[in-house]
Amino acid sequence: MAYQEFSMEHHWLPFTPNRSFRKDPRIFVAAEGMHFTTHDGRQVLDGISSLWCVGAGHNRKPINEAIKKQLDTLDYATAFQAGNDQAFKAAEIIAGMAPGDLNKVLFCNSGSEAADTSLKLALAYHRACGEGQRNVFIGREKGYHGVGFGGMSVGGIPANRKAYGAALLPRVDHLRFIHDPVNHAYINGVEPEWSEDLLLELEDRILPLHDPSNVAAVMVEPVAGSAGWYLPPKGYLRRLREICDRHGILLIFDEVITGFGRLGSNFGADYYGVVPDMLNFAKCVTNGVIPLGGVICSDRIYDAMMHAHAGAPEHAVEFFHGYTYSGHPVACAAAIATLELFQQEDLFERAGQMGLLLGDAMHSGFKGLPNVIGIRSLGLAGAVELSPVAGAPGKRAYDIFMDCFHHGVLVRPAADNIVLCPPYIVEQAHIERIVEVVADAIRRHA
Ligand SMILES: Cc1ncc(COP(=O)(O)O)c(C=O)c1O
């Protein structure tokens, strides 16, 4: 691919140090399978599924063809007061994949919008049930639910919140984080068994403080992804479900990362055997090719919202919420093709199997290297945690990320973790290459 001149004056990159990017740009111009081509003609192995999106690998023809066909058939149609066939079909497939009575899909365009949609639906649902006082949300420290005001407030990543002060939602509390660096620094594909009950503080402190009757919902990621792949203790999610049930609180799983195969199952909810009241998704649903997100909610929530309007006139809208592009036909056509491809190639099963190889390779390749203080792997993802450079948190992981990129592997720095989450089509040789490049970079930055 020939080098192409372009100005870098105008594009403000998201979640990126823009000043240093200019000095050493990382620009992709093509992708195929497991690899990118950069603007200067190099091949880079995608060790992070392009931010947890590209489960089926890059440039998959069935998805591309479905998009092209849809563009030539129905390019776009308004989503309000009308629908399109692709959105109904995609919703049917997604609901069919979801556990329990999660049967109704509200589409949006991203994980951030899914977070805010689910929080708004929680408030609207409680109001419909005559419990409009329930307006406290509970998230978790280091949780990530995108960048909208709702998701950011319930999220618990300090850097994402610190500039927004009083603009954050006022009635939000946070569970403590799920990490034990002493007893569970190294976890390979198992559920860590804690002697301490991490949810005692929810029952004994947080709920009494707000009074459970005021709490609308608890929102957590089954596995804390953006923070650096931190795994819940054994039984944690089940117990969270029980506590929510006891107090009439809705449980929302943010499965933007864990949804659609990352743990070797349809959803994290399946992996952990816990059915939430709402499940947020995005990313892998279209293999990342076209933006699409959504919330799958229970029949109970849908029915309550409809029931509350039983006496209302026919034209009354039950939920005043939606996006111009909710259920966009091209995005939904991409989702249908993606989900069919996942099934045809048995890619979730494959993710589970390759995850075992990734976990073993990470533990044998990284343990004992300089500054390595933890390794956590589950499903087809894992993180190696490094001790921070004194006075410069995040710098070591950032430097290692840059080093890996220059050696042809894209990894993800998250605080002082390096996170790996390759596409489900990954081969053993790719895993070996990724681990070798990361290990060498860790040594170089000792
Ligand atoms: C768990 C989780 N929720 C929400 C989001 C936000 O998604 P988006 O960037 O599509 O808005 C992400 C993104 O990584 C995520 O990991």
pLDDT per residue over 116-134, tens digit each? 999 999 999 999 999 999 9
pLDDT of residue 5: 78
Q: Report whether residue 256 contacts ligand 1, using a CB cutoff of 6 Å.
A: yes
- Residue 56: pLDDT band with limits 50, 70, 90: very high
Question: Using one digit for the tens of pLDDT, what is the confidence trace for 202-248?
Answer: 999 999 999 999 999 999 999 999 999 999 999 999 999 999 999 99
pLDDT of residue 247: 98
Ligand 1 atom at shortest distance from the alpha carbon of 148: 11
pLDDT of residue 3: 52
238 C-beta neighbours (distance < 10 Å), count: 12
- The CA R_g of the chain, rounded to the nearest whole Å, is 22
How much is the average pLDDT of 147-162? 97
- Residue 159: pLDDT band with limits 50, 70, 90: very high
Tokens standing for residue 2? 């020939």
Percent of the chain with pLDDT over 70: 99
Whether the predicted model's global pTM rises above the 0.85 cut: yes
Residue with CA closest to ligand 1 atom 1: 256
- Scan for tokens 């279209």, then name that residue: 286
Q: Report whether residue 257 contacts ligand 1, using a CB cutoff of 6 Å.
A: yes
Residue 2 confidence (pLDDT) above 60: no
Residue 1 confidence (pLDDT) above 60: no
pLDDT of residue 4: 59
| Mean pLDDT over the full length of the chain | 97
Question: Using one digit for the tens of pLDDT, what is the confidence trace for 387-437?
Answer: 999 999 999 999 999 999 999 999 999 999 999 999 999 999 999 999 999
Residue 195 confidence (pLDDT) above 90: yes
Residue 299 confidence (pLDDT) above 60: yes
Residues pairing with 104 in the sheet: 297
pLDDT of residue 81: 96
Tokens standing for residue 217? 């919902």
Which residue among 283, 286, 292 is best mutated to probe the pocket of ligand 1, counting the most ligand atoms within 8 A of its Cβ? 283
pLDDT of residue 6: 84
Q: How far is the CA of 208 from the centre of ligand 1 (A)?
A: 30
